[in-house]
Amino acid sequence: MKKTWMICLFAAVLAVSGCGKKEEASETEQDSAMVSIAATDFTQAQAEDLLKQEVKTYCGSQLACKVTSVKIAGKDINGTYTYEQDGKTMEATVTLLDVAVNKKDPNIYTIADKQFSSPAAAKETASDKTADPNSNNSSNSNKDKETKDKDKDKDTKENEAGIPKLPLPDKKLDPENPEDTEYKTVLETDDYYVFRIYLYTEGTLHVTGHYEGTGLFRVVVLNEDQTVAKDLIHATKTEELDYSVKLKAGFYYIYAASDGGSWNLEYKTEY
C-alpha cells in the first residue's frame, strides 16, 4: 500500500492580481454549481432536515418512521430511524453516500447512493423488550452492570469515529517548544498514519491529494485529546481529494487509513 505525505505551510494568505483578464462565470452557472458537503459549511441542522426528508420518502405512508440520530461523516450522512412493526418499535440504519449541495441553495442536493438497512436487519429497541417476571432480578442486575462496564471500556478504547485510542506519548505538548509545533509524522503502522500539526491562531486546514483504490480511505482530524474535530474524508473509490475544515488554535492529529490502494496527501494551513 503506497502512502505519501506532502506538507505546505502558509502563515498568511495574500490575494495577488495579475495582468490577465479573468472571465466571471455567469449567474446561472454559479447558481447551478454543486459542491460536496465536506467542502462546505454544511450544518448539522441541514443534515437532519435532509435525512428526515429521505427517510420519509423511503418509508412512504405505510410506515411512521422517526429519525433518531444523524451524523455527518465526511461527504456522507449516517443515521438511524425507528418505526412500528407488529406492535414493536424497530430500529434501522440509513447512509446517504457522496452528498452534494447547491452553492446558492442548500435545499438543492444530489446523493450518489442511498443505503437503507433491510427489515430483516432491523433490531427491536430496548424500550420494547419486556423483562420476564420469573427471571432472577439479581442476575439481570449483574448482566446490566456487565453491559455498562463493557460499554465504558469500549468508550475508553475508541472515539466517536470508531478509531482506537492511539498510542501517543503522554507528554503534554508545549506551544512554545519548536519540537512540538513542528509538523511531523508521529505514528506509522501497516494500518494507519498519524501526522501532527499546530495552528498558531484560528485558521483553515486544506487537505488535497489523490486516492486510488476500491476500499475505504479515511482521514479524520483529531483534537489533542484524541476526540474528533472533523471526520473529514470517506473515499470508497478512486478520487481527487479536496477538503477543508476550520480549526481553532492548537494541536491536532491527522489520522489516515485505508483498506487498500494507494494515496497521497498534501496539507496547507491558512490563517
Residue 116: its pLDDT value, please? 79
Residue 12: its pLDDT value, please? 37
* Number of domains observed in the structure of the chain: 2
Residue type, 52: K
Separation of alpha carbons 68 and 95, rounded Å: 13
Q: pLDDT: is 159 or 156 the higher one? A: 159
Any domain includes 147: no
Separation of alpha carbons 195 and 183, rounded Å: 7
Any domain includes 257: yes
Q: Say which CATH number the domain at 87 has.
A: 3.10.450.630
Domain shared by 112 and 181, yes or no: no
Backbone dihedral region of 212: left (phi > 0), alpha (psi from -120 to 50 degrees) or beta? beta
Q: What is the pLDDT of residues 11-37, one digit of tens each?
A: 333 333 333 333 334 444 444 588 888
Q: Which residues pair with 113 in a beta bridge?
A: 97
Q: What is the pLDDT of residues 213-252, one digit of tens each?
A: 888 899 999 999 999 999 999 988 899 999 999 999 999 9
Separation of alpha carbons 235 and 36, rounded Å: 12
Any domain includes 161: no
E strands along 125-271, which residues? 184-188, 192-199, 203-212, 217-223, 228-235, 239-247, 250-258, 262-270
Any domain includes 117: yes
Question: Which range marks the domain in which residue 51 is found?
Answer: 33-129
Cell of 204: 483553515
Separation of alpha carbons 223 and 221, rounded Å: 7
pTM of this prediction?
0.50
Q: What is the pLDDT of residues 61-113, one digit of tens each?
A: 667 888 999 988 888 898 888 888 777 888 888 889 889 888 888 778 898 88
Residue 144: its pLDDT value, please? 56
pLDDT at residue 124 greater than cutoff 80? no
